[in-house]
Amino acid sequence: MMGNKIGMTILLAVLLCGLTVQAAEPGSMQAEAAQTENVFYTNPSTGYQAIIMDERNTLSEEDKEELLQIMEPITRYGQAVYKTVTSSGTFGANKYAEIQYGASISADSGVLVLLDLGSGTFKVRCGGKMERIIDKKLAKTISTSATNAFAQNGQAITPPKYAFEQVSARVEQARKALPVKYACNAMLALIIAMLINFVLVERLSQMQKTSEQELMDNVIGYSRHGEVLIEYLTRTETYHPRSKR
């Protein structure tokens, strides 16, 4: 009897351990899935990241890789994040985009492209240096175009690709325009300096010249105790011919 009780106790312990392991497996699998859900790229020069947070599983692995390549150039100026959510309608679209931007962008500069599956709309939200490149008017234009593309074909990869391509093109334009801006500023400074120099020369040339009489008076004043020999190096005389009678 004692042996049977010990055997039953061991069997119950084994069964309980098995149930515990089975109960823990779903949680660990969910945690692992959450860790591998986001796709990252870190720019080695700036430290900014490109992040895909496809929480609603709208993209395939090939789509994510393709989108990440488009997002990479943006990391020269800030962080680039693509996120898919389903809003509850508590906040307006713009306010909700701001909340998601604050929750997703950890850098001082960045751009968030947000797909709200609840309303089927895209939102582009920028901050920091990126906001000087993509202003609110341009962000709204890109958002509207991406939303229209999503409504027309329903392909999840096409609208975010378009949105980030537009942002990347704008960033590239800003990068190329920067040396031109510096050159224009230097040229403007040179022109201003030349104008100032011209005005000063013009003013000095219009100052009243010292007359011959003033020079002679000064010479006489300095020569009270000695003789002074004055010799004209150049002298201009006016000749008046006699008129014939």
> What letter would DSSP give residue 41?
E
Domains and CATH numbers, the chain: 36-176 (3.10.310.50)
The reported pLDDT for the residue numbered 224 is: 56
Helices 61-71 and 158-205, axial angle in degrees (round to 10): 0
Distance CA 62, CA 64 (A): 5
The reported pLDDT for the residue numbered 191 is: 74
pLDDT band at 83 (very low <50, low <70, confident <90, very high): very high
The per-residue pLDDT of the chain, averaged, comes to 74
Q: Stretch 60-89: mean pLDDT, rounded?
A: 91
**Overall pTM surpassing 0.85 (yes/no):** no
Distance CA 223, CA 241 (A): 38
Backbone angles phi, psi at 42, to 5 degrees: -115, 125
pLDDT band at 138 (very low <50, low <70, confident <90, very high): very high
Q: What is the dihedral of CA 63, 152, 138, 71, to 10 degrees?
A: 0
* Cβ-contact 122, 147 below 8 angstroms: yes
* Cβ-contact 129, 77 below 8 angstroms: yes
Lowest mean pLDDT among 11-20, 86-95, 102-111: 11-20
pLDDT, tens digit, 9 for 90 and up, residues 112-122: 999 998 888 99
Among the residues of 36-135, which ranges form H helices? Answer: 61-71, 93-104, 129-133
The reported pLDDT for the residue numbered 18 is: 47
